[in-house]
Structures are given as C-alpha cells and as structure tokens.
Structure 1
Amino acid sequence: MKKLPSLFLLLLALQAGKIKAQSKPVTNLLTTSSFSISDEDFMLNGKPFVIRCGEMHFARIPQEYWRHRLKMAKAMGLNTVCAYLFWNLHEPAPGQFQWNGMADAAQFCRMAQEEGLYVILRPGPYACAEWEFGGFPWWLLKKKDLKVRTQDAYYLERCRLYLQEVGRVLAPLQVSNGGSIIMTQVENEYGSYGNDKEYIGKIRDYLVEAGFTVPLFTCDGPSQLVQDVRDDLFCVVNFGGNPEANFKALRAIRPKGPLMCGEYYPGWFDSWGTRHHSGSSERVEKEIGWMLDHKASFSIYMAHGGTSFGLWSGANCPPFLPQTSSYDYDAPINEAGWETPKFVALRNLFSRYLQPGESLPDVPARNPVITIPAFHTTETAPVFSNLPSPIADETVRNMEEYNEGYGAILYRTKLAGGDAGSLQIKEVHDYALVYLNGKKIAALDRRKNQNTCQLPATKKGDVLDILVEAMGRVNYGGHIHDRKGITEKVELIVNDKNTELKNWNVYPLALNNDAAPSNLKFRAGETNAPAYHKAKFVLDRTGDTFLDMGTWGKGIVWLNGHCLGRFWNIGPTQTMYVPGPWLKKGVNEIIVLDYNGPKMNVLAGLEKPLLDAVTEKSSVKKHRKEGQQVNLAYSQPVFTGAFNEGIEWQTVNFKATAGRYFCLEALNAQRADDHYTTGAELYLIDEKGKEIPRNKWKIVYADSEEMEGEDGKADNLFDLQNTTIWHTQWQDASPKHPHQVVIDLGAEYRIAGMRYLPRQDAPNGHIKDFNIYLSKTMFKGL
C-alpha cells in the first residue's frame, strides 16, 4: 500500500539506518521487524494491524506489580500498552537523571514485550496526566520569566537535553531494533494550549535527533486538532464518547491514514472535595465495539490508573482543584489491579475481534489482600519543633525561589502591634495555617479562593506564623506556571490602610517523593498541632491492604520508606492503597504528617477501598450569590433557535456581534418533563469562522449547578473534556427553566456562531430551545 508522503518520513528512514548501526537488538518475543503507516492502515510486518491499546503508567504501579498489570492488560484483550514518561520523575535536578526502580522505563518496555504487548511511548516533554506540573520538573520555575510549551530558549534547551537522554535509554527498544516501541508521541494535546506549530516541529526534531525512527504522532481533542496538526506528523484524536462524530473531525483534518483514538475515557479522575467519578460499562463496550467494527484503533485512558504515590498528584485550575492520590479512574483494571465489570465486558468484546493466531490468556489471580487490626500512633514530632535554620528575607517569596520543590514552607515575622484588622495574602498556594503567638487563628484554602483572615489587636513583638502546604502543581491549561507558597506579598489592613509586612524568617520544609525526613525528633504523646506521628505494627503475613485514614485530618503518609501519597478527610478518598510488597513480615513503621491533627490517632488496614465518601459540602464555589438573578429584560438576544435531539456537535451561526460577556439561556429541554439543563462543551466562533481562545474564559454566573451529587459545575463547559458536564441542580432542589450561564470571555470579540456538545452519556438535560446574548458590559443583576 502507498505510504503517507512526507519529506519527514525520508528523514526518519535515514535516521533509522544510523540507529540500527548503533544499537544492540533486544530479545524479540513479538517477532516484529517493521511497523509503518499507510494511507489506510497501521502496518505490522507488512500486514494491516488494529491497535487495541490501554494506558498504564509504570510510575503509578509498584515495580513489583508491573508484570501482573501487564498480564491483566493482555488478558483483557489488549495488544499494546501506552506509557507516559514524566520528565520530573526522570530528571529530579538539572542534569541528574534516574532510570531505576519505579522510573525504570526500559525495564517496563522489555517486560511488556515479554508479555506479548507492544508499547506506544509518550515522552513529553509535557504529559498532563493529572501529574504534578504536567510532568515538568519543578526546577524550571526557578527561572522567573519561564514560559513552558513555547520557544523560550531556556525551556527548549532543557527539553532537548531531556529528550536526548530519553533516546539514549529507550531508542534501542524500538521495533526497528527488535524492541516493543511502535510509535512515539510528540508533546501532548498542544492544541488545547497554543497554536505554534513551529514549536511542535522543534520537539519533533529533538526526538529524531535522539534516535527515534518509529512513526511520530500528535494527539488532541477534535476541536483542537487544527491548532497543532502538521503535514509531516501523523495525528490521532482524543475523545470520551461518540466515536463516529469525533472521527469525522479527524477526517476533516487528515483525510487519509488509519483512524485512531489516542485517549478514550472509560471513567475520570477524582479531585479532593468532589464525588468519585465513574463511567458506564455499557457505553464503553458499545463505543469501543463501534471502533472495532470500523477497524479504528484506540487507546483506553486509563486501562489501569493505579496510584499517584509520593507527592506526584497534580491539580486543575480554575477553580483550583488538587487531585487525589488514588488514580483509580474507574478503569477496567482498578487501583489495586483487580478486574472490574468493565474488564469483563471488554474481554468478552475483544474475544470476538482477535487476529489470526491470537488468543486470550487466563485472567491472573488477584494479589493477596490482608486486613490490619486497628493500632495507634505513639510518638510525635511537631513541625514547629523540627524547623531548619531560617532564611532571613525582607519580603516573602515563593517556594521555588528558596530552591524548594515539594512540601511546605513557614513564613514568620514579628508584628509592630496595633488595632485589629485583616491579613491579606497574595496568594496562598495552596493551603495555609495562620498562627499568632503559636495559636491557630485561621485555615485558608486555595480551592475556596481564601487569601484573607481576621487578625485581632496585637502588641509589639507578637509572632505571626503562616505555614503553607503545597499541593500538586497545576497540570493542565493556562495556569500551569503554578509556583507554591506565598506568591507575592502579605499585607495587614487596618482602618482601610494597607501595610506590607516585611522582615521575615523563612523555613523551607522540603519533602521528597520517597522517605520521610530523617532528622525528625520524636517524643512520646500526641498533639493536634501540625506534626509527624509514628507507629510500629507487626504482621505475620503480607498482602495488599487499604489504610483507613478516616479519623485523620490532612497530610501525607510514609510506610517503610515509601510515600503512599496524600490524604484529606474531606474525601472522596478515605483510604490509601498499600501494595503488599511494601509491607514486611515482622515489624513495620508508619509515619503520618498531619497538618490539621487527627480526631483519633488510629490506623487500620481494610479489605476494600473507600473511594467515594465526601464529608464536606462542595468546596467549589457556586457561580450564583444568594438572591442573585441575571436580568435579561434590557437585552436583546443575538440569536434564538432550537437544537436537534442527539449527542452530535451542533453549530449555529448568526450576524457577527461584538461582546465580552456571553449568555446562553436554555428555555426548555428535549423532553417536556425534563427540568434540567446539561452541556459538555461550548465554543464560540468569530466572523472568520475560527474558534476564539477559551484560556481566559471565566464563569461569572450560572443560575443553577449541581455540586453535591456530582461534579456539575458550569466550568465544565470549557474544560476540553466531554465526559464532564454542566448540570443544573437535582439533589436538593430542581429549579425549572429557564437556565442561564454567563461567561466573561476575557476580552471583547466579534462573535458569529456557537458550537455546543450535549452530554454524551444520557439524554437528561439536553437543550432544545435557547437564546444567545452578547454584551460589551456585564448583564444587569450581576
């Protein structure tokens, strides 16, 4: 068959000859010698090949369980696994690379090959993946004017050095060298961030320079493809539903070549303070079945999510929502490696689409599970009694400027004394405890946009402490340059007069992603102040278990030198996955850092996880104040229309109108008895037919949002994920139509159309009749 024409493919061919001469072939259990892309198919050893792939991240799986998880993937019916590399895992400090333990990417690729699985490699430099800083190393942020994912000279040079190291380690494991790697991705979903195709070309060139000769590709959502697709790179499309419509979007950009979904979402990730996400097995089976019927390849994101051990979990923004350490994802293979109903459904489905000579192996047995009877911690090391030497500084600075990547930071100053007032911190990143003379007076939570607290009258010499915990850095979107600690300054406001506080002692409280600090001074007893709590317990046998953190506050757990991740009693996760190989027969040691203090200092190991127990009202602030109501009586709609039934993208065009504030008003739903409004994604089109950028969009009003029963916030309308939706309230009340959402576009545009994607998983809330309003100034009532 005719190959995709490209000068770049000629370059790849020349590079291939160079690599073959330099590399030792690995044991080739898959007996593959060639993989290529034709006008219609992926070609494996000269024959058409449909990629049945599933994502699993070796960094989220205990190394001792890699083979088990790969066997599970094979037993489910996959023939390929997709794996991100996280730059920050492999280069923790500039020029210091690590490829051992859970960072041993080469061993994972070799093991996949031994289990009869090919590998699609996603080396970055940007990954996203709900991973701290999207995979970027924190030390990049020490450069104040850094701009990641651009042609910033320093950033590009560090990318080049990193990718050269990736090539040194992994290029020998490509199929052209007898290995398992059949494709390599260039960057990741760049169209959701920018449109500099020259930048994508440079990252591609770095991969070629590093020795990658297998087909290179980009991936993006259907609407973002136009932003980053290049003629000299293959491309795939990411989506969470409706494959037929989304492949049409891919075909509009790339008329030839095999169809592939680079990320198909069977579930979703969880954030602290929100409900656990799940997805329908029936939907997943139906949509993947459609792809198989049409010879479309896919990668299930995630086939197995695992756990963001250590401090590797990331965050979304806005609003700021740090993600849980559990990355269960409601995936077919759950966090502990167990088969789920999705696994069974997909195994049955795949068994009907096997290639000649292919068969499904038996499903591996689950790893043993144990319970651990309740035990108490017996020693504590208070944070304030274990401070390092201070750094004197006139003003506060962020953590990165003190050469700190992860953990917490304490800012201390003495006050001049005066009347009561308010303390304003610009800004808290991410969770601050404020103390006056050792007494806690406030807790400030970035999720709730809390940066201010009341300060009582003080006298000269009173000590102000601000302890700031860093959660995961933002991993997606325009707020990704997420520096930690206090990012600007601290002011005291008394009688409407602002005074910046100065002359600080700063204590960086650095943590890493492995063992707890080694220099802690423990003592007998317990405390509710920020402290490390230690206990020992004895086991006569080992196995997986789920550490019950239900009586604890907020913090981090280490077990026998392994960091299990973060806990927070607000949920939804109330347990922490403990891999059996990290336990020992005999004496085990556990250390718990709790910033808020436990209700009871008791721990236990359970047989099953608790993944969906939210204990606080939604931390996400609704976009409607008490009694607030948008008044559209003084505005004329720029368009009035009706959507068709179904889950397809729907586009409306109208006379170009200038405005900064956009309002969509749903007058009713497709079903007469349906009082709800839902929507998955929304785009606005300018008079030239191009989508306007959404990176500065902000919801200023939504008449109704479901925050308790599910994640139904209005921000989901432009989060680039069609698996998340705006849903009007249904749990405690069900207000009737009309329903309105108002968006500040961040600047004035001439708008000539709108694209709307209904929710994909149910007909509930699908909009029928609607009005569109645009205004240069804020609508009345807001």
Structure 2
Amino acid sequence: MEKSGMSRRCGLNADSSQFTLDGKPIRILGGSMHYFRVPRAYWNDRMLKMKACGLNTITTYVPWNLHEPERGVFNFRGQLDLLTFINEAAQVGLWVILRPGPYICAEWDLGGLPSWLLRDRNMTLRTTYAGFTEAVNSYFDELVPRLVPVQFSRGGPIIAVQVENEYGSYAKDDQYMSFIKNALESRGICELLLTSDNREGFQSGGVNGALRTINFQKLTSGMIKHLDHLQPQRAKLVMEYWSGWFDVWGEDHHTFSAEDMVSVVREVLKQGMSINIYMFHGGTNFGFMNGAVDYGTYKPQITSYDYDAPLSEAGDYTKKYHLLRSLFSSYQMSGENLPEIPALQPKKVYEAVAINQHLPLWETLQFTEPHQSESPVNMENLPINDGSGQSYGYTLYETTIATGGTLNSRNNVRDRALVYADSLFIGVLDYKTQKLTVPNGKGDQKLRLLLENCGRVNYGKALNYQRKGLIGDIVLNNVPLKDFTHYTLDMKPAFIDRLGAVSWALDTSKPTFPGFFRGSLWVEGCPADTFVKLPDWSKGVVFVNGQNLGRYWPIGPQKTLYLPGPWLKSGTNQVIVFEEQKAGDEIHFTDLPNLGKNADVPNKVPSVFLQQCVKLCTDCFKMLEQYCTC
C-alpha cells in the first residue's frame, strides 16, 4: 500500500471487467471484521493475521446504536474509535471498505439502529419518513466528516463506501436509497459507492450511481448471469461470501465445511470476480448487543459471533484460514510473498473462582429512579436518559394486587418475564407461555415482572415492531392491571460500579433470586485469554472488572463465554454474575471454547436462511429447491 498522502489520480473503478485502483488492476481479496466486536487491544493482531492470509482489504460495519446511544450524544472514543481502526488497517497494509448503514443488519440489536427511534409511535424505519431522515442526517453530520479525510483520494485507505445494506430485501420506499446516497455524497464521500444484496433482493436493492454487489454462500451460474445482465462489462464483487452462519439460543451450532467453503471461493476467483469473506473474524456480541430473528417464531441470537469463521472468536487459526491462505497465496501481486503467520494469543486455565458474596436484586433498586404510570410503559418510552428511554437489559414492573388468579400477558411480554408474587417466583412468561396462576396471599401482594430484552430483530419486516418490556396491558382474571412502578436495570458499567456501595451478604448458602454473586479471580503475571464456564448455573450475565461479557444460558448451543486477556489485570479481578434462578458455588475457566453441538448436517445452508428466502420471495422457491441441499 502507498504511504498516506502520496499523490493519487483516481480511486477504485469498476467500469471494466476488472477493478482498477489509481489506474492499476486490482482484485479485492477482502474479509469482514467488526471493530465493535473485537477488543481494541486486538485490532492490530487480527489485522496482521488477515494480511498474512493474503487479504488486501478489510470491511466493517458502523453501528449507529453504539455511536449515538442517546439522541444527540455521540461516542467515537476508546472501543468505538473508528478513525484509529481505519488508520491501523492502513498501517498493516489493508484497504478499507466501509459499510456505514445507517442500517447494518450484522446480527446486531435492531440492525444497528438506535432503539430511541422507536419512541416515535409513527416511526417507519429505513424509509424517508421525516422522523427517520432527520435522525439520519443528524448522525451523518457527526460520522461522515470523520471519514472524509481518510478516503483514498485524500491519501487514506477507504476505497469504497456502501450505501445502506441489503435494502432489496426490505424495499419499503423507492426514494430511500437515493436519500442515503445523497446524504453520503453531500457530506464529502467521493469514493466508489456500493450496494449489497442477496439474490432475492438484488433487483430492487440498487441505486443509480452505485455498483451492485451480491451476497451468498453457494454460487450458481444464474447469479453470475444476473450480475452481467444488470451491470454489463462492470467488475463483479461478492460483498458477503458467508464463511459460516450465526447461532440462536436453543438450537445447534452452525458449521460449514472448510473444503466446501474454499471450493466456492476458488470458483469465484476463477470467474475473475473479487470477494469479501463474511465473516473472516466474527468476534463477540459483548453485553446485550446480539440481534434476533423472527420468521414466525422469535429466536434471540447468542453472545458468541464466532460464525465458524477462518479466525475463531478468540482470533485462533482454523482449517478454513490455512486453506484460504494457500489459495490466496497464488493471487498476490507479482513477486510478493505472504507475511509470516503471527503467533497466537496465549490462553490460560485460571483457578475456579469461589462465590463468597451475594446481593438480591431487590436491594439494588435503590440505585434506580422509579417511574410511575397508570399503564405499563415499554422500555424505549421510559422517561430516562434525557428522553432516549432504556435500550438494553432488564426492566422491573411492579404493581399491587389484592387477589390471586389467572395472569394473562396477552402476548405483550417482550421478550421474557420472570414473575414474582412478592418474592415468590411463580413462573416465566414469554412468546410461548402467556398464562400463569398467581396464588392468593394474605392481603395485598406486590406483583413483580422482571422483563428482559433478549435482543431486537435485526433483519426483515419486523424491524418497526421491536419495542421491548411490556408493550401493552397484562390482565389478572381478565382485568387489566394498573398503577405500575418501573425500575430500569440496564446494568451499564455505572450501575455495576454502584453495587460496590452496598453491603453484600457473606452467607451464600441460601441466596435470594434473582441476584448478583461476586468473587475474585487472581491472575498471576501477564493476563491471557480464557473462557468462562458456569455448568451449575441457570441463566444470566457475567461481568469482569465491569465489562459485560454477555449472556449465558444452558439451553445452548454456547457453553462458554470469551474473556479477553486485555480485560484482565495482574492480581485481583472482580467477577460478578447476575443469575436469574439457580447459582453454582464456583465460576470455572478453560482454555478451549465450547460453542455447542454442531448442526446435524453441517454442510447445508442453515434452515433459518431457507426460511428467510422463502419468506422474502416465494417465487424463488423452485430455485431454492434446485440449489439448496437442505
């Protein structure tokens, strides 16, 4: 790669059968890695591994919901320092294709859109509805000026910018893509613009002036012909070649054969096309940021975003990596050899952490500001965070009842509620279970519903309906309950820090649930990566030194949580577990991840994708039967 600031005549060009960059032929050998899913301390490590595999380009999404977590409050620091990520890519020798959205999908909560958009009851996401376009313009006013100086034409590594993402599969507004394209160009984006769609959305997802690119896992001759028909004599790019697939709670871990994957990549390259591996390194949905799918049944995605990618969740080499390195080595520029493969990050099996302190959830309510309302208020519309509402975590709903009987959620629980009469646990309400029996008490009882946002849908027509918490009335004996008190339990770092101000019980033999459990991890010498195991626990969230590692849930497939070494320190480390129903005595560590049982037939297109395709385009069902083996 040229040094930043050197004279450049023209950027990436697709107006012939092969891409050119600064007038010279180039084949894009790209890989996706999301800076927000990888600890900042490891950005360089992962990039060097990508370069050593033969890649010349890195692609990343930009998550609006992290960069503007509250309306008008922007964050581009630390883990979200996008400019540093881009400059590190340049230093390693990688070009950058940026995918700034505003919608990104990415199996990320609400597809990267901030939840505060849903405070508007009339909101229609990804359209030219004024409430949405005004928010996009405000966000782009902050984002795009940061990107302009690091474009290729300014001496930076950004060679292309994507306009939105897979809009052909949504396609609610024929003016929307033009709006996004103009929003980028009017603020100074001048590099090659792209759109990206799967086969079913390819026809309707483009916009004039942007190169259409395609996403798939299995290549057919029909796809190539379709590309040539729509864009004759233009360079072809597979923007997302799916190296694996994502997982949802309660199902098997998806895998995709390394040999089958490389076979398709080899054929793509033989056809003269460029390619971007999605994902090359998946990383982790730390915190509460996982998305969900809903094709008739709501299914939240797991914490890990390993994706069965060439680089594992912890940045380790896989068979896919080595096969791709062998293949890509023959596509390097004349006389260039691949760099040596960097050493792996060390792993450690730490001594188990004994749980020696306990704090009931009810005692933490003092750290939240209660809000009263006659009827239940959904999470996003709670009057907190300067009008931005609550985005993630749990919300506690309390009301007083004078009698027991049948509690019916009327399917207004989003997504899962632990229900208590005073402190007595009486059951779970979710999409499947909508009725519970409430026992009679001695006089009035406090009915408590601890609502969990398990992840907003990130893809499809359901985006506008992702409000969480209680989204309507809940009835007892067919009478709507009233006079609610709401407690926000978003479990942000500040909330976890405040837990240190209370007295924790030292006797953990008879804990109260739900509750927080605390212990200390001792690290001798330099910290190393590890994986957390909670074999005797029920369901909850793990925090280490204030960092939210994500959810655990024995229904799997994921059985371990990735704990990066840079988040530990030599000496004493604080470990806190929020457990909903059943705690173990210890927290265990291992040097090997366990992402669960592999899918029964691992080399097939995942069933959830087939459902997606059938939902989106029933006319394509015969094509699916012909080319999919599921």
The TM-score normalised by the length of structure 1 is 0.75
State the distance in 1 between where 2:364 and 2:314 align.
35
How far 1:228 sits from its partner (Å)?
Answer: 2.0
How far does the alpha carbon of each residue in 1:423-477 deviate from its partner, in whole angstroms, 9 at most, with x for none? 334411111111113211101233xx32222223456412211111111111111
How far does the alpha carbon of each residue in 1:68-122 deviate from its partner, in whole angstroms, 9 at most, with x for none? 0000111111110111000011111112211111111111111111111000000
Which of 525, 529, 541 is the equivalent residue of 2:513? 529
Q: Does 1:718 align with 2:606?
A: no
State the distance in 2 between where 1:170 and 1:716 align.
33
How far does the alpha carbon of each residue in 1:44-73 deviate from its partner, in whole angstroms, 9 at most, with x for none? 121221101000001111100000000011
How far 1:229 sits from its partner (Å)?
Answer: 1.6
Which of 469, 482, 491 is the equivalent residue of 1:502? 482
Q: Which moved more, 1:405-414 or 1:239-248?
A: 239-248
**Correspondence for 1:122:** 99
**Correspondence for 1:216:** 193
In the TM superposition, 1:52-451 aligns within 5 A as 52-318=29-295, 319-387=297-365, 388-402=368-382, 403-417=389-403, 420-446=405-431, 449-451=432-434
State the distance in 1 between where 2:139 and 2:128 align.
16
State the distance in 2 between where 1:187 and 1:239 align.
18
State the distance in 1 between where 2:415 and 2:601 align.
23
How far 1:353 sits from its partner (Å)?
Answer: 1.7
**Correspondence for 1:694:** none
Q: Which moved more, 1:601-610 or 1:458-467?
A: 458-467
Change (3 A) 1:298 1:539: same
Percent identical pairs in the alignment equals 36
State the distance in 1 between where 2:589 and 2:422 align.
38
How far 1:390 sits from its partner (Å)?
Answer: 2.6
Which of 514, 527, 530 is the equivalent residue of 1:545? 530
Local SS of the residue matching 1:468:
strand
1:189–1:218 Cα contact (<8 Å) kept: yes
State the distance in 1 between where 2:580 and 2:604 align.
27
2:540–2:578 Cα contact (<8 Å) kept: yes
Local SS of the residue matching 1:275:
coil
Which of 548, 551, 557 is the equivalent residue of 1:566? 551
How far 1:219 sits from its partner (Å)?
Answer: 0.7
**Correspondence for 2:386:** none
State the distance in 2 between where 1:415 and 1:183 align.
59
State the distance in 2 between where 1:191 and 1:568 align.
35
2:411–2:430 Cα contact (<8 Å) kept: no
Which has a greater percent of strand?
Answer: 1
Change (3 A) 1:67 1:714: closer
Which has a greater percent of helix?
Answer: 2
How far 1:539 sits from its partner (Å)?
Answer: 1.2
Which of 472, 476, 481 is the equivalent residue of 1:492? 476
Change (3 A) 1:515 1:546: farther
State the distance in 1 between where 2:351 and 2:325 align.
36
Local SS of the residue matching 1:272:
coil
Give the aligned residue type for 2:210.
Answer: L
**Correspondence for 2:385:** none
Q: Does 1:605 align with 2:618?
A: no
Q: Does 1:516 align with 2:496?
A: yes
The TM-score normalised by the length of structure 2 is 0.92
How far 1:43 sits from its partner (Å)?
Answer: 0.8
Q: Does 1:479 align with 2:452?
A: no
**Correspondence for 2:4:** 27
Q: Which moved more, 1:708-717 or 1:397-406?
A: 708-717
1:222–1:249 Cα contact (<8 Å) kept: no
Change (3 A) 1:752 1:164: closer
How far does the alpha carbon of each residue in 1:595-638 deviate from its partner, in whole angstroms, 9 at most, with x for none? 2232x131122010111159xxxxxxxxxxxxxxxxxxxxxxxx
How far 1:136 sits from its partner (Å)?
Answer: 0.6
How far 1:523 sits from its partner (Å)?
Answer: 2.4
Change (3 A) 1:710 1:280: closer
Q: CA RMSD in A?
A: 2.6
Larger Rg: 1
Give the aligned residue type for 1:100.
Answer: R
How far 1:255 sits from its partner (Å)?
Answer: 2.4
Greater RCO, 1 or 2 (C-alpha within 8 Å, sep 6+): 2
Change (3 A) 1:708 1:249: closer
In the TM superposition, 1:748-767 aligns within 5 A as 755-758=622-625, 762=629
Change (3 A) 1:64 1:760: farther
2:311–2:317 Cα contact (<8 Å) kept: yes
Which sections of structure 2, spanning at least 5 residues, go unmatched?
Answer: 383-388
Change (3 A) 1:115 1:227: same
In the TM superposition, 1:578-597 aligns within 5 A as 578-597=563-582
Change (3 A) 1:390 1:544: same
1:429–1:486 Cα contact (<8 Å) kept: yes
How far 1:513 sits from its partner (Å)?
Answer: 6.8
State the distance in 2 between where 1:43 and 1:559 align.
47
1:539–1:584 Cα contact (<8 Å) kept: yes
Give the aligned residue type for 1:434.
Answer: V
Local SS of the residue matching 1:755:
helix
Which of 546, 551, 557 is the equivalent residue of 2:542? 557
1:415–1:458 Cα contact (<8 Å) kept: no
Change (3 A) 1:709 1:255: closer
Which sections of structure 1, spanning at least 5 residues, go unmatched?
Answer: 1-24, 615-705, 722-742, 766-782
How far does the alpha carbon of each residue in 1:703-729 deviate from its partner, in whole angstroms, 9 at most, with x for none? xxx9999999976533139xxxxxxxx
State the distance in 2 between where 1:759 and 1:268 align.
21
State the distance in 1 between where 2:606 and 2:30 align.
32
Local SS of the residue matching 2:326:
helix
Local SS of the residue matching 1:287:
helix
State the distance in 2 between where 1:30 and 1:535 align.
57
State the distance in 2 between where 1:61 and 1:390 align.
35
Local SS of the residue matching 1:268:
coil
1:146–1:152 Cα contact (<8 Å) kept: yes
How far does the alpha carbon of each residue in 1:158-182 deviate from its partner, in whole angstroms, 9 at most, with x for none? 1112122221111110100000000
How far does the alpha carbon of each residue in 1:670-729 deviate from its partner, in whole angstroms, 9 at most, with x for none? xxxxxxxxxxxxxxxxxxxxxxxxxxxxxxxxxxxx9999999976533139xxxxxxxx
